[in-house]
Structure 1
Amino acid sequence: MNDLPACLRCTRDLRDHEIGRYLCGPCEDQVARALTEIPALYARLADHLHRGSSNGPAVSGSKTAPVPLRLDVLDLQMEKGPVLGVLQGWVRDWEFYGHAELHETDTLQERVAGACRTLRYNLRWAATHHPAIDECADELLAAHRTLARTVTGERPARHVTVTCPCAQPLRITLDTRGITCPSCGTGYGHSDVLRLPLAERRAA
């Protein structure tokens, strides 16, 4: 169990009822929501596999040349891709601790859903006992963001530049969970880095 006073992921100070955990309650809830939504988002990838398609698969019987596949979507569907590969990687890891069981004989969609159920069911244990739960949370949330942006067309988070008190500019997004200033070594959690002043734009 964690003997540090802060969440490993967002670096927020743990409240009294969270002491002993590696992951704070809000971060655990965020991962739980992602695991709940990933299977449905993964299933929708098939509707976006062809370039120019967003509402469904290409119509068969057309005399025109087939629409080329989107390799980025195809990569997301692959067994060792950034979705199922990540999910099964953490299932294997948790299986070592006796808190998961990997199934590799189902369809890819069923394996995604099964991995998400397993990780969701054992998430409370991991938040309290797994010392790499922050790395796991980051990878699962990254997979969820990639899926969501692919099926909804949402643009990636916009980067902004803020300034550390030492005058070092820092590039962040609203999703930045924390950052360490390379100049003075000060570490900022998610809420702290968002409170830093915006960097002044240089004159053209």
Structure 2
Amino acid sequence: MPETSVDQRPCARGERCAARTITTLNGQRVAVPALTYRTYCDPCRDHVGAILAGLPALYVRVHGELGHHSGGGERVTVSRTPPVPLSLGVDALLREVVTVLASWEERVRTVARLAVLDTQASRRRPDGQALDAACRLLAAHLDALLALRPEPMLRVRTIPEAAKLPPGTPGVVREVAGYAEVILDLSGADAGAEILRLHARCAALLTETRAPAKHLPVPCDWCSYAELYEVLTWDGRPDGARCRECGYEYSDNEYTLLRGRVYAEELARAEAQPRRRRLAAAEYGALSGRTPACSAVVPDDERMSA
């Protein structure tokens, strides 16, 4: 039976969909995600795949910040001679990246009927090696990953985050440690969201050591405020813009189109300005009986067209 538009559904990334369109609804600009027959549209699917390919290298860079980056957490010393200061925030993020990706690897191995990892051997692998293996397998079976049905999975949340979960969510709260272990029903859409979120957190941590985001000379197309700031990839390449007034995020292509349109409008206004001055001077001369030097040459056809 052929597929029809009825079988399509909005991309799981919602307003952040890479192929979103902008429309006006009840006087408000609304971002509409692309329709797709799968969980993610093709551009968003490819984006998740690209993130998986680059995540091991990003992990290495974040690991390099472990000894000298605050990372939002307390520093501790694991030995007396020599002292090795560790950032608890960075360490927790690194562990979460490996744990989450390894859990999705296990699920994909099951649905793809691949060899199941030996639990003990898997736990003995260095974290970097485990992450690299998980990313390579998930990238090779990306469609299987993003098509996963909801199943219970163990996740760690801070206590405030756990308090916002629906009542009855199974789990255990570790009061002293300050976190909760919860069981959530997660699907392929959640897999993509978790991968993108972890990547963003790693990139944000590395961004803290860079210069502040550059203020862009283009007003936001949503709120009209001149509060657009550049967004960079983890390796420093331009990746769009974000408005600090309304929070709308532009993809790199969207910002390029916006900038081109704004510059074209400014150029058109600049070219029209001298002509308007000449016409105004000519009208003044006609009313006063004088002919100012700036209006010495004003063709009749130009005056009529104005």
TM-score range for the pair, normalised by the shorter chain length: 0.5 to 0.7
Q: Which runs of 5+ in 1 are unaligned?
A: 54-63, 163-171, 176-190, 192-204
Q: Matches of 1:47 and 1:25 in 2, distance apart?
A: 34
Higher share in strand: 2
Corresponding residue of 1:148: 203
Corresponding residue of 1:201: none
Give the TM-score taking structure 1 as reference length. Answer: 0.59
Shift of residue 139 of structure 1?
0.2
Corresponding residue of 1:88: 102
- Code of the residue aligned with 1:138 in structure 2: it is A
Structure-2 change in CA distance of 1:68 and 1:106 (3 Å) = closer
- Code of the residue aligned with 1:87 in structure 2: it is L
Q: Matches of 2:188 and 2:113 in 1, distance apart?
A: 13
Corresponding residue of 2:260: none
Corresponding residue of 1:6: 10
Corresponding residue of 1:112: 131
Contact 1:51 1:67 in 2 (8 A): no
Structure-2 change in CA distance of 1:111 and 1:65 (3 Å) = closer
Corresponding residue of 1:135: 190
Shift of residue 44 of structure 1?
2.1
Q: How does 1:37-186 map to 2 (within 5 A)?
A: 37-51=54-68, 66=83, 68-78=85-95, 81=96, 83-98=97-112, 101-102=116-117, 104=122, 105-127=124-146, 129-131=147-149, 132-152=187-207, 153=209, 160=244, 162=246, 172=247, 174=249
Secondary structure, aligned partner of 1:69:
strand
Structure 1 residue 26 corresponds to structure 2 residue 43? yes
Secondary structure, aligned partner of 2:10:
coil
Give the TM-score taking structure 2 as reference length. Answer: 0.41
Shift of residue 3 of structure 1?
3.4
> Highest CA radius of gyration, 1 or 2?
2
Q: 1:125-171, CA deviations, whole angstroms, 9 ceiling, x for partnerless residues?
A: 334x3342221111001111112222343679877464xxxxxxxxx
Q: Matches of 2:117 and 2:243 in 1, distance apart?
A: 37
Higher relative contact order by CA 8 Å / sep ≥ 6: 1 or 2? Answer: 1
Calculate percent identity across the aligned residue pairs.
29
